[in-house]
Chain A
Amino acid sequence: MLNAAAPRGSEYLLWLEKDPHARSWATLCSDASTQILERLSILRDGEIRDRAAFDNCLACHNSTRRYDEPRSAEWQPEGIGCAACHGPDQQWGNRHYLVGWQPKHELQNGFVPLKNLVARARVCAACHVGDSDRDMNHDLIAAGHPPLFFEFASYHAQLPKHWRDEIGRSSANFEAQLWLAGQIASLDASLTLLEQRARQTKKPSAWPELSEYTCAACHHDLNAPAGPQTRLPTTHITGGRVHYSPWNRAGLGWLLTMESSTPSSPRHGSLSAEANELQQALLQVQLAMDASFPKGDSVKVIDAAQTARSALDRWITSLPGQSTWNEADASWICRIAAQAQLDGHAASPDEKAPDWESLTQFYLATVSAREGWPGGKTGPLLEPVRSLRKQLTFRADEIASSRLEFGKSLLLIRKIQSELHNASALPWDGQIRASNTAHNAYSPRFGDKGVPEERGPHR
C-alpha cells in the first residue's frame, strides 16, 4: 500500500505534461492574449509599453522575476512553476530531496506547506482571486481576459494531482473541507484585493473597480419590452444599482446562517460572538460597496474590508479543531459546511439567489457535496444538479446571465433541497460517525479516480 504522505516522484512530469499552470506563459503569448495586451496599450508594435501593467500579468502567468522587482532570479518563461506555489526555491530547491529532509525543515527553507487545505487554497486564491500584487480587473475583462470565478473544490478536482491527500483517502468530509477552505481563502483574498483597490495606490487599480460587482447588474440587454419586471429578474431587487458581487462571500454567509440553525451545531440557536461579528462585518462591506458606487467614499470600503478581514481571522481562530482541518477529523464544522453547501438557500431562495454568481456558487457547492453523497455522482442529486448546471451555462450565442430563467433555477434548488430533506439520514451523519471511530466506512471517490466530468459551468 502506498504511503499517502510519501511524494510521488513524478510531480515535475505531471506538471509539465498535464498541468495547465505549466502552459500559463504560453497562454500569455497566445494571439488572444496579445490582442488583450494591445487593447490595453500594454503592448504596441511588439514592444511592452507599460511595464507595471505587464508585471501585473506576469504575476500570475509566470513565476520568475518581473520588470519592476528587486529579485535577483533570472527571468525565464516557465509559466507557473514549482516556486509559484511552493515558495521561492533558493533554499529548499536543492535540499528537499536530500536524505534527512523533514517536514520541520520546510518553513525554515521557505517551502510553503500545502497539506493544510486552507494554506493550499490561499496559494491558489492569490492568483485566481487576486491580492495586493495581482489585480485582474474590469479593464482586463473588457479587453478579453476571462473573468475570475474561483471555487477551490471545483478547481482542485480538475487539477492533475501531483500530490497525495491523506485525508482524501480516508474521510468523506474531504469535499466539505475543501469547500470550506476555499470559501475562507477566497473571501480573505477578495477582501485584501478590495482594500488594495479602494486605496488606489497601484496602477492597475481604478476606483470604483467594476469587477467587484455582479456582471448582470449592468450587462443585461435593453431589448426586452419596457417595464421593470421584464428587463431583468433582479432589477426590482437592485433598483437599477450595481450590486457587490456575492461570489466570494455567499458560501460563508450560508455557513454562518447554518451554524445557528442546525440542531447538531454546538452554536444552535445563536451565533457565536465571532460568527456574529463576521456576519455583521460582511454586511458592512456590502453596504459600503453598494453605496460607494459610483461616487461614494472609498475610505468606508477600506475600513469595512479591514474590519471584515479581522473578523474572519477571529472567526477562524474560534473554530474548534481549526488547526486539524487537514486531517480526517470530522469536526462539527465539516458537518455544517457540508449541509450549508446544500441548504444555503433553504430559508428564502428568492432573496438569496438573485444573481448568477450566487446561483453558481450554490451549484458548485452542491456538486462538491454530491461527491460525498452515497452513490456519488450517480446518486439522487444527479439530475437536478445537472439541470441546474444547464441553466447556468453560458452559451456562445446568447446573453446567458441576462436571460437566466431564475424561476426554473429556483425550482431546481427546491428539488435539491427536497432530496436533502427526504433522505432518512444525511449521508454525512453516518460518515462522520464512522470516520470518528474506525476510519473504515465509506470508500472515497476522489483523488486518483480522475477528474470529475462536471464540476463547473462553462462560461
Chain B
Amino acid sequence: MKYERPPKAAFPFARCLVFIACLILARGNAQEASTLDKERQLWRHFPEVSDCGACHAGGNAANPLRPEASLFPRMNELAIWLQSDKHAVARVAIEPIGNPQKTTAPFQASQVLSHQICTELGWDVQSPKGYRLFESQCLVCHAGTAPAKREADATPHLTREIKQPGISCAYCHQVESRDDWVALHPLRRTWSDKPHAEKEAAGLKNLTSIPSRQANCLDCHLGNLSTGQFVTHAMYVAGHPPLRSFELGAFSQAMPKHWMSSSETIAAARNLASPVDFLQAQYPELNVNKANVSKLIDIPWETRQTLLASLVAAQRSVELLRDASKGEHAGDYALYDCYACHHPLRLPSPRQELGYAGIPGRPRLPAWTRTLSHAAEATAGTVPKTRSGTKLWTSIDALLDRTPFGEPKEVASAAETELARLSEIITNLEKQWFDGANIQRTTEFLSSTPNALLADYASAQQVVWAFEAIARDWEFARSGIDKPGKMPAEQNRPDVLTLRNGLGVATGMIIPNPAEERLYRANYLPANFLPALRAIPTHHEQQ
C-alpha cells in the first residue's frame, strides 16, 4: 500500500479527516473506549499528539502489525501510548494539588506529593512565579518542556487549566523543533533507506541505535544537565522518589510495546526487494552486506543491547558529573551513588565484608551505572586496548580517593578522559557481531562481577536484568524467532530464577512497583545474592 502524506500545506484539513476517522474506529471498540478517560481523550487534540494520531491511532494494543499499511510501523502506536503507556500520564500525575479532594483519580497520592515537594522547595504553585518554577524544573522531564523556553515565556497551553499530555511522541522521536520528518517519513520508499544522519537532519531521532536510544531515555531516567534535566538532591530531600537504576532491556520489556524489535525488523525486512539497503541504513555500524545479511538474525540482540546500553549509562553518568563540575551543581550529592551514604549502619556490615573499589567510605558515581560496564568492557574481548591501556574509572576514582567528592576542575578534566575511553569502547562494541561466544563470555564476566560492585540492591538488580536479557536470547533461540549462532551448551544456561530469589524479588516481576521495590531494597543482602550469582556455570562449553 502506498503510504504517503499530503503536502504540509494541506495538513490540517487532511489531518482532521483522518483523525475523525480514527476516532470513529476507536469508538467502535467499546472496551478500548472505556479505558480512555476524559483526560486522555483530550490529549488527542494536542498538537504534539494529534499530528501523529492522524495515522498512528489505528488498531489497538492487541492488534499486531498491519502489513497492509507498511512493513514496519504497527500503526497503533498512539493508541498504545494513550491507553497504557506511563509516559502519557507523566505530566498529569504530578500536577501539584495540595487538596486531596481536588486531585485527579488515580493520581491523588502523586499530585499531593508533587505539591508537597514544591512547597518544600519554596515554590508557591498558587503564584505564577512558583508555578513557572514547577514547570521549568519538573516538566522538563514530566512533559518534555524545554526549560529555556519556559523561563522566557509561559506559553498559553502550558497553564493549569489545560493539562498537557506527558512525554509524547515528539519528545522521544523528534530532534528539538525540527519537524520536516513528519511530512517525509510516511514516504517509505524514499525515506526508509535513508541513512540515520539524514533522517536526523530532518528531525527524526535515531532510536534504532542502542546508544542513541539509551541516551534518549537516560535524559530523564538519569539526567542531562545540558538540557536542564536533573533531579537535584534538594528535590530528593523534598520528597522526589529516588530515581531507579535503569536498564534499557528491562524497562523496554515493562513498557507496552509500540515498536518493532531488531529481530522483528530484520524478519520483516526479508519481504523487501532489497533488504540489504534497508538493513545497511538501519545498522550502519555492522556493515551489512549481501554476504552477511542472512546472519543478522543470529545476533543475540538482547544481550548486545544490554551491554551497549550499560556503557551508555556509564557515559551519561560521567557526562552529568562533568557538566555539574563546571557549574552550579558541582558537588550536588545527587551526582553520586545514593547508597554510598544512604546505607544501613549495620554490624556486621555487608559493605565492609564485600570490600571497596577504592578508599573505603568515599562517595562514588552511582554504582549501578558501572556494574555492567565492567562486563561490557571485558566481554568486548576483541576491542583494542584503550589508548592509555588502563581500565575505566581509574582517573575519576583516583580523584575521589584523594578528596571526597573530588575537586571540581580536576573531576571535569578526568571525566573528559573517561568519556573518550567510553566512547571508544562503545564504538568498537557496536561494530561487533555478537554471537553465542559473546553470551558465554558475558555470562562469565557477569557471574564474576566484583563484590564491591554489588553492595546495593540497585547494582545487583542490574546484573539480574543483564541475565534476563541473556535469558531472552535463549528463549528466542529456542522458539525459533531468532537463531543466535552457536549458543553455549544448555547446561551453561544461567538460572535466572535462583538469581532473582537471591535478589529477593518476586518471580515474574520485571520492574517492581515503588512500594515493593522499597521492600526489596531494604531487605537486599549481598550474602544471599552472591552465592546464587557465583553458582552460575561459567565453564565454556560449546554445542
Contacts and interface: CB of A to CB of B under 8 A. Distances in A.
Given A219-B342, A219-B343, A223-B522, A240 B236 contact: yes
Interface in A122-156: 138-139, 141-144
B345 A228 contact: no
B346 A39 contact: no
Interface stretch (B146-154, B259-267, B354-362): B354-362
A215 interface: yes
Contact of B359 (A40, A218, A222): A40
A71 interface: no
B344 interface: yes
Contacts of B521: 222-223
B162 interface: no
A235 B342 contact: no
Contact of B239 (A142, A227, A401): A227
Contacts of B199: none
A208 B352 CA distance: 22
B120 interface: yes
A283 to B, nearest CB: 24
Nearest to B400: A206
Contacts of A218: 341-342
Interface stretch (A109-117, A391-399, A414-422): A391-399
B360 A139 contact: yes
B507 to A, nearest CB: 22
Interface string A175-215: 00000000000000000000000000000001111100001
B518 to A, nearest CB: 5
A220 B118 CA distance: 23
A143 B360 contact: yes
Contact of B352 (A39, A220, A227, A228): A39
B113 A226 contact: yes
B155 to A, nearest CB: 30
B347 interface: yes
A435 B240 CA distance: 60
A221 B330 contact: no
A407 interface: no
Contacts of A141: 361
A295 interface: yes
A399 B349 contact: no
B113 A227 contact: yes
A103 interface: no
B341 A228 contact: no
Nearest to B353: A35
B238 interface: yes
Contacts of B514: 226
Contact of B518 (A208, A225, A294, A397): A225
B347 A396 contact: yes
Contacts of B236: 240
B403 A39 contact: no
Nearest to B520: A223
A143 B352 contact: yes
Given A215-B345, A220-B342, A222-B342, A139 B330 contact: no
A9 interface: no
A256 to B, nearest CB: 31
Contact of A295 (B242, B344, B405): B405
Given A139-B359, A206-B403, A397 B346 contact: yes
A433 B518 CA distance: 59
Contacts of B342: 218-222
Task: Point out which of A144, A207, A228, A396 has the most chain B C-beta atoms below 10 A from its C-beta.
Answer: A228
Nearest to B342: A222
A457 to B, nearest CB: 13
B537 to A, nearest CB: 31
Nearest to A209: B404
Contacts of B69: none
B116 A227 contact: yes
A206 B356 CA distance: 17
Interface residues of B, number: 43
B485 to A, nearest CB: 43
B404 A39 contact: no
Nearest to B519: A223
B344 A142 contact: no
A295 B408 contact: yes
> Quick one: which of A139, A222, A396, A397 has the most chain B CB within 10 A?
A222
Nearest to B523: A223
A152 to B, nearest CB: 24
Given A143-B361, A208-B404, A219-B342, A39 B331 contact: no
A239 B359 contact: no
Which residue among B113, B116, B238 has the maximum number of chain A CB atoms within 10 Å of its CB? Answer: B238
B405 A40 contact: no
Given A227-B239, A295-B408, A144 B518 contact: no
B237 interface: yes
B242 to A, nearest CB: 5
Given A207-B403, A226-B240, A138 B349 contact: no
Contacts of B338: 222
Nearest to A296: B331
A139 B361 contact: yes
Contacts of B15: none
B234 interface: yes
B356 to A, nearest CB: 6
Contacts of A210: 361, 404
Contact of B120 (A206, A228, A396, A402): A228
Nearest to A143: B360
Interface in A98-115: none
B341 A399 contact: no
Interface in A369-406: 394, 396-402
A399 B356 contact: no
Contacts of A231: 237
B344 A221 contact: yes
Contact of A142 (B238, B346, B360): B360
B241 interface: yes
B138 to A, nearest CB: 14
A222 B520 CA distance: 12
B241 A399 contact: no
A141 B346 CA distance: 12
B233 interface: yes
B269 to A, nearest CB: 45
Contact of B237 (A224, A235, A400): A235
Contacts of B408: 295
B402 interface: yes
Contacts of A400: 345
A345 B241 CA distance: 34
B119 to A, nearest CB: 9
Contact of A206 (B330, B343, B355, B404): B404
Nearest to B340: A218
B439 to A, nearest CB: 34
Contacts of B349: 144
Nearest to A240: B237
B360 A396 contact: no
A236 B402 CA distance: 32
A240 B233 contact: yes
A399 B521 CA distance: 14
B237 A228 contact: yes
16 contacts: A40-B360, A138-B404, A142-B362, A206-B404, A219-B342, A219-B343, A222-B342, A223-B519, A226-B241, A227-B113, A240-B237, A295-B331, A295-B405, A396-B346, A397-B346, A398-B346
Interface of A: 35, 39-40, 138-139, 141-144, 206-210, 215, 218-228, 231, 235-236, 239-240, 294-295, 394, 396-402
Listed from nearest, the 10 A-B pairs whose CB atoms lie closest are A142-B361, A240-B237, A142-B360, A218-B341, A295-B331, A223-B522, A294-B405, A143-B360, A399-B344, A294-B331
Interface of B: 113, 116, 120, 233-234, 236-242, 330-331, 333, 338, 341-347, 349, 351-352, 355-356, 359-362, 402-405, 408, 514-515, 518-519, 521-522
Given A142-B356, A399-B344, 7 more contacts: A142-B352, A143-B352, A227-B239, A240-B233, A240-B333, A394-B345, A402-B344
